[in-house]
Amino acid sequence: MTDETTGPETAEEVWDTRYRESGRIWSGEPNAAFVEVVGELPAGRALDLGAGEGGDAVWLARRGWRVTAVDISTVALERAAGHAAEAGVAERIDFLHHDLAVSFPEGSWDLVSAQFLHSMVEMPREEILRRAACAVAPGGVLLVEGHMGFPSWQHDHPQDLHFPTPEEVVESLRLPEGAWEVLRSEEHVRVQKDPEGVPRERTDATVLVRRL
């Protein structure tokens, strides 16, 4: 429970509080690097980890994918379900509440996606991504997109947080030799508007691996 004198305590409370700060936190659009990669794939079963307000999940469902969208925040999940209903794809998306540090959905998927699965609170990201790789069906892919640093306009952030390079992400997956193919492991720059609406550059990391 949130104590008004101390603020939110659990990771779920932190994220629910973040989402309640505004009626919409993210753009509602799917992530650009995600669209570039997934747009090439035939529709199948997708797992979206840290699905947030559902921009990617709704985009997938509109293209015929059957989606499992997971998040720690019930506020985000309810919002995402609302966007799915507005888009007429609610029946193609299962919204599941998991703290991925604690539990992971059962099943296997043709696409497992973790788009900016970062957290303001401690989260075992490497372990979660290894679990994510295990959930990829034979022939399927794991797509991980992450930031390479805080936005240049944000100054009130921890100084010691390490954002892994694409190579570090691949290594941390500990993929068994000969069972996976690394399709992408790269940094790229994209433009994001700062809170004043000024376009600024940010560097992200993309990792795409395929289970053979």
Ligand X SMILES: C[S@@+](CC[C@H](N)C(=O)[O-])C[C@H]1O[C@@H](n2cnc3c(N)ncnc32)[C@H](O)[C@@H]1O
User: Which residues contribute to the site for ligand X (CB under 6 A)?
Assistant: 11, 15, 26, 31, 50-52, 55, 71-73, 76, 98-101, 115-119, 123
Residue 182 main-chain phi, psi, to 5 deg: -85, 110
Q: Which residues contact 15 (CB under 8 A, 6 or more apart)?
A: 71, 72, 73, 75, 76, 119
Cβ distance to ligand X smaller for residue 55 or 166? 55
Cβ distance to ligand X smaller for residue 68 or 115? 115
Task: Let me know if 26 is exposed, middle or buried by CB neighbors in 10 A (0-12, 13-18, 19+).
Answer: middle
Least separation in angstroms between residue 101's CB and ligand X is 5
Cβ distance to ligand X smaller for residue 45 or 97? 97
Cβ distance to ligand X smaller for residue 72 or 143? 72
Least separation in angstroms between residue 95's CB and ligand X is 12
Least separation in angstroms between residue 114's CB and ligand X is 8
Task: Let me know if 140 is exposed, middle or buried by CB neighbors in 10 A (0-12, 13-18, 19+).
Answer: buried
Between vectors from CA 33 to CA 78 and to CA 86, what angle results, nearest 5°?
30
Q: Which tokens go with 9?
A: 């305590």
Least separation in angstroms between residue 27's CB and ligand X is 8
